[in-house]
């Protein structure tokens, strides 16, 4: 791999950490699970059934929004949150890259042993 390619990957990596971090919380994963399987929901709706306060849920939603996993639109007095799939796709690509590098490393090691 060229140095240029590697630094490009490093650049991508930098951007990925906050995304992973945003998903690294039970409450937020639960919110994503709710939103990815249906229509936009309001904060109050998303708070119902949770043990947390509305404000806590709001904070989590803002984190997800900053990471781009979710988008909010104000509609009257309520703000609706909707799932946004792109970051998830990017994350999958990144994980594919990691797996791919690992496979290449394995085959390099194998050919080295067989030599």
Partner DNA sequence: TCGTTAAGCAACCTCCAGGTTGCAGATTAC
Partner DNA sequence: GTAATCTGCAACCTGGAGGTTGCTTAACGA
- CB-based contact 90:19 (threshold 8 Å): yes
Site track for its own copies across 55-74, x = CB under 8 A:
--------------------
Please report, as residue ranges, which positions from 91 to 110 form the binding site for its own copies (by CB under 8 A): 91-92, 95-96, 98-99, 101-102, 104-105, 109
**For its own copies, which is the closer residue by CB, 24 or 77?**
24
- Identify the three-state secondary structure at position 110: helix
- CB-based contact 59:108 (threshold 8 Å): no
CA dist., res. 96 & res. 79, Å (int)? 35
Quick one: what does residue 73 bind among DNA, its own copies, none, with the CB cut-off 5 to 8 Å set by partner type? none
Count the Cβ atoms, other than its own, within 10 Å of residue 79: 15
Site track for its own copies across 19-38, x = CB under 8 A:
xxxxxxxx--xx-xx--xxx
Q: What is the smallest separation between the CB atom of 2 and DNA, expressed in angstroms? A: 28
DSSP states of 44-75 as a string?
HHHHTT-SS-HHHHHHHHHHHHHHTSEEEEEE
- List residues near DNA by CB under 7 A: 24-25, 27, 42-45, 47, 51-56, 58-60, 63, 72, 74, 76-80
**For DNA, which is the closer residue by CB, 49 or 76?**
76
């Amino acid at each position: 791999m060229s140095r240029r390619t590697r630094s490009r990957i490093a650049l991508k990596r930098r951007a990925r950490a906050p995304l992973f971090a945003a998903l690294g919380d039970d409450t937020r994963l639960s919110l994503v699970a709710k939103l990815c399987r249906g229509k936009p929901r309001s904060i109050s709706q998303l708070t119902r059934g949770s043990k947390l306060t509305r404000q806590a849920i709001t904070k989590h939603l803002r984190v997800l929004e900053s990471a781009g996993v979710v988008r909010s639109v104000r509609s009257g007095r309520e703000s609706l949150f909707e799932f946004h799939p792109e970051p998830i796709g990017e994350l999958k690509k990144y994980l594919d890259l990691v797996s791919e590098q690992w496979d290449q490393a394995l085959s390099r090691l194998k050919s080295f042993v067989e030599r």
